[in-house]
Structure 1
Amino acid sequence: MKSKKFSIGSSLLITCSAILFGVSAFFPWWKMGFYAPQYPEGLNIIVYPTKLEGQIDIINGLNHYIGMANFGEKNFPELSYLGYIVIGLVVLTLLTAIIRNKAVLYGLISLITIGGLLGIYDLHHALYKYGTNLDPHAAIKIKPFVPPIIGQNQVANFTTHSLLGLGTYFILAAFVLLLIPLWKERKR
């Protein structure tokens, strides 16, 4: 009869995963850099799970000319509760390491997968909303656009580069650490 419990070694991997989830909250999860001849050093919007940083006021001043809504923490309600979700994820992951039950681990992995997909959808939806709901009375008329989550985009004389932040790489590493026990213990 196969055991539904996983080994202490797997439990330690899951504990490391919980630590990485927690550490991710202190680093940016996503970043968008704006480059133009007048801003060769670039302007940035840096997204943490609980706040926005970067030259947001300058970017908002420039975006006003094309009729784009202002970026700001008040426009992203996710920033008010995402930190609590990270804390909950750390607690659930630690409980999974303590309980050592494969079914619980499958449930945690499923929850993280669904949460990750919802997060990607939410970011895409926000980018879509900002790039397509342009004020028709703006000083500069441009075609609606959707900035990519990862990649490059050209808007007027600005080139934007969107990329994942270090916090997201911690999350991905934590997720991989959760998958290793499933592979390692497949014959147990």
Structure 2
Amino acid sequence: MAAAKLSPLSAVFVGAAGGLLLLSLAFPWWGMDFIAPQYPEGLEIIVYPNRLEGDIDIINGLNHYIGMKPFSEESFPELGYLSYIVIAMAIAAFIIAFTRSKRGLYVFIAAFLIGGALGLYDIHRWLADFGTNLNDNAPIDIDPFVPPIFGENRIANFTTFSYFATGAYLVGAAFVCLLVPLWKERKT
């Protein structure tokens, strides 16, 4: 008995998911804005899958006062290999689309879910590490804190806004493209 195949239209959706994954690499995935009376225009950290951008030096200078270790690309080893994982996932999506393998799609969706959960865990882990491992000898003593992955937080006189950016939404759209074949080809 031959293995079940995806319809051509479903294969197009899986291929589109691969394209969206590749496209996501060109955009930031996550960010955090910092607003305070002395910085009304705000400061920001922008996280791409392979680099950090934004007002990193200024934020590190301010974080020194509360005893937080500095942010740098070296602090986040994931930035060295995340792009390769995304490229591998895109290639897997293209292979599944080409072969139209239903079994491959199911395995890929499971891997996508696991990868997404690990990614969210990793962001939370880093936020907790930076916010709770404060230097006891810092000039300003504040209670340890864990900024949210998404949403608003207040730290001293700074209000922070954490958000998912364009790249994360493209990854989300890729996941939706993978779910369409499940719905379209469900057994009645």
TM (norm. structure 1) is: 0.98
Counterpart in the other structure of 2:70: 70
> Could you give the per-residue CA deviations for residues 132-188 of structure 1, whole angstroms, max 9, x where no partner exists?
000000000000000000011100000000000100000000000000001101138
CA RMSD between the two structures: 1.3
Partners of 1:19 and 1:3 lie apart in 2 by 25
Counterpart in the other structure of 1:84: 84
Counterpart in the other structure of 1:61: 61
Structure 1 residue identity aligned to 2:21: F
1:168 aligns with 2:177: no
Aligned residues, how many? 188
Q: CA shift at 1:101, angstroms? A: 1.4
Partners of 2:29 and 2:100 lie apart in 1 by 29
Counterpart in the other structure of 1:42: 42
Relative to 1, partners in 2 of residues 1:2 and 1:88: Cα closer, same or farther, differing over 3 Å? closer
Counterpart in the other structure of 2:16: 16
The residue correspondences of 1:117-156 to structure 2 (distance < 5 A) are 117-156=117-156
Partners of 2:186 and 2:121 lie apart in 1 by 32
Counterpart in the other structure of 1:96: 96
Percent of matched pairs sharing the same residue: 55
Structure 2 residue identity aligned to 1:118: L
Partners of 1:118 and 1:129 lie apart in 2 by 16
> Could you give the per-residue CA deviations for residues 52-104 of structure 1, whole angstroms, max 9, x where no partner exists?
00000000000000000000000000000011011101100001101111111
Q: CA shift at 1:3, angstroms? A: 6.7
Partners of 2:154 and 2:187 lie apart in 1 by 51
> Could you give the per-residue CA deviations for residues 19-59 of structure 1, whole angstroms, max 9, x where no partner exists?
00000011000000000001011100000000000000000
> Could you give the per-residue CA deviations for residues 102-126 of structure 1, whole angstroms, max 9, x where no partner exists?
1110000000100000010011000
Counterpart in the other structure of 1:109: 109
Counterpart in the other structure of 1:157: 157
Structure 2 residue identity aligned to 1:66: I
SS in 2 for 1:187: coil
Structure 1 residue identity aligned to 2:168: T
SS in 2 for 1:120: helix
Partners of 1:108 and 1:119 lie apart in 2 by 16
SS in 2 for 1:142: coil
Contact 2:3/2:101 (<8 A) preserved: no
Structure 2 residue identity aligned to 1:16: A
Structure 1 residue identity aligned to 2:114: I
